Amino acid sequence: MTRNKFRYFKNLLKYGDWTILDTFFHDDYLYLKDHTLINRDDHIEFMKKEFGKKINVIDPQFLYEDDHMMTYSYNIAANGKNYKVIQVQMYKDEKIWREMSNAVEIKN
């Protein structure tokens, strides 16, 4: 099992080259966030605007990867609170096609 998708994700966070996001997501991409489906363009714009500025990804952890999916976890600090996030991505044509996540507040 390789971890190429996860390595790519970590490098994206480390170097912050958000200009390449257009090549990363499938044209039919949808993200299930809470009770809302977010399309490709809206999600890319959100990532470019929020990650590294308002949302800080902390300690990304690899969980599982194969040719068709990847799942990982990380902590974020947003709006003065800390959250544990589990992210699941399904791939089609070697690009992220469907994605969903669950964020749970970390209580101290």
The neighbouring-strand residues paired with 71 are 64, 88
Reduce the DSSP state of residue 56 to 3 states and report it. Answer: strand
Closest to 45 (Cα-Cα) out of 21, 26, 12, 13? 21
CA distance 8 to 37: 24
Extract the tokens encoding 52: 């590294």
Q: pLDDT tens digits, residue range 73-96?
A: 999 887 888 999 999 999 999 999
Q: Average the pLDDT over each of 8-12, 23-27, 52-56 and give the range with the smallest value.
A: 52-56
CATH 3.10.450.50 correct for 4-105: yes
Torsion of CA 83, 40, 12, 107, to 10 degrees: 0
Distance, in Å, from the CA atom of 79 to the CA atom of 15, rounded to the nearest integer, reads: 23
Q: Name which residue leads in pLDDT, 107 or 15.
A: 107
